[in-house]
Structure 1
Amino acid sequence: MAYLQPLHQRCTFNTERLLIKSLNSQLFNEDSKRLYTRKVLALLTPTVTNSLPSEWQNITSYEEANNWWQQRIKESCFLSIQLKSNNEVIGFVFLYDDETKKRQLDLHIGYLLGESYWAKGYGSELIKGLVNLSSG
């Protein structure tokens, strides 16, 4: 049986305008952890989280945001969505792999984008990139 890299290593990819990469690969010191905690606080506005699970809503403190991203890393392959043009983090991808099925990947996908990045085609571009990644 061929060895497969962990999901978070296999799911780093680029699209025309986006860089999608594992958060694990970007959290290498306290400064980077603080940066992502602040990004979570900025992106998880009430409008963005309105239809998301209740524990993803009302994140208003640094501690809550820090706990939120740490929990996402534990439960999923947690990826950042960044603009190629300036490396700005505009959202996150969550991949949940069901490894109970042998020889078949059962992947559940979720993503969120900051409000100011809605209606610009980023979500469609992200999903197309994921589809191309899985079929290539």
Structure 2
Amino acid sequence: MEFKNTFQLIHEFVHAVIQQINPSVAGLKWLDEGIAEYASKQLEEDIKSRSTFNDYPTLRQLESGSVYFDEAGSTAYLYSGILIKYIVDEYGIDALNKIIRTPTNIEVIMKASTENIYEQWVKYLEDKKWLR
């Protein structure tokens, strides 16, 4: 229980730092929560506690923001964190830093359309490369 509280404190601290860097990130819930999930190491714990990963969201669900998070609960945080892990694993931490600063330029930064980024992320999920 002690670790869970520590992860939560770090998660909230990450939000505070991201808001100082770029307040507009809060408008992209998957990005805001995904970064906090990833950076706080909650993602690692959440992955360990799951046995299946076949309930990933559609692109539209991710783009719906709070609607998806309200419906999916902790699952939304998990997949947002895995999406951030995908960005870091496949494009590098510098790409994530650029996305934080200018999230509207994600397609330029990642040199792919939103749809293509989503399709590649689903392949990443299905290949389970991120579990290794």
* TM-score, normalization by structure 1: 0.30
- Normalized per residue, which structure has more strand? 1
Bigger Cα Rg: 1
- Normalized per residue, which structure has more helix? 2
* TM-score, normalization by structure 2: 0.31
